[in-house]
Amino acid sequence: MNFDNSTCLYCQHTTDNLMIKICDLGVSTLFLFREQTYRGRCLVAYKDHVNEFHDLPRSEMHALMDDVARVTKAMKEALNAEKINIGAYADKLAHVHFHLVPKYVDGPDYGGTFTMNPQKTYLIDEEYNALIESIKKRL
């Protein structure tokens, strides 16, 4: 499981332009996306640089999915979302991570696939902080 992490935004801690770190979890880190077309959209990134989910030891797979489940439950409660979509896309970014996307009946792309980065909705610091605190207190 040796992978080059010299350009990985998670390993190099260069996520600030895209995301805000919420907290560390059991085997991962939770982030809130700055782009908020999907209100409350988050990302869970595995703690170490691993390219493929199947490369994780079985115990780490289970622990990572426990982190994802814990966060989606907290998000659903905090955001009153109809559904939390979970996506694992890593064609260009070789680091195991999951997109957690709240969907709302009258919201964008309900019933379909979310757009990766529509660049339509950004918040002020107070709004980001309120979302983060609402999710964190339910973790």
Query: pTM for this one?
Result: 0.93
Cα 111 → chain centroid: 20
- What is the three-class DSSP state of 130? helix
Going from N- to C-terminal start, the domains of the chain cover: 19-136
Per-residue model confidence as pLDDT tens digits over 75-93: 999 999 999 999 998 777 8
DSSP string covering 34-91: S--SSTT-EEEEESS--S-GGGS-HHHHHHHHHHHHHHHHHHHHHH--SEEEEE---S
Q: Could you read off the pLDDT of 3-32 as tens digits, one per residue?
A: 567 788 888 888 889 999 999 999 999 999
Structure-token match 């309120």, residue found = 130
Neighbours of 117 (CB within 10 A): 12
Fold for 19-136, please state it: HIT family, subunit A (3.30.428)
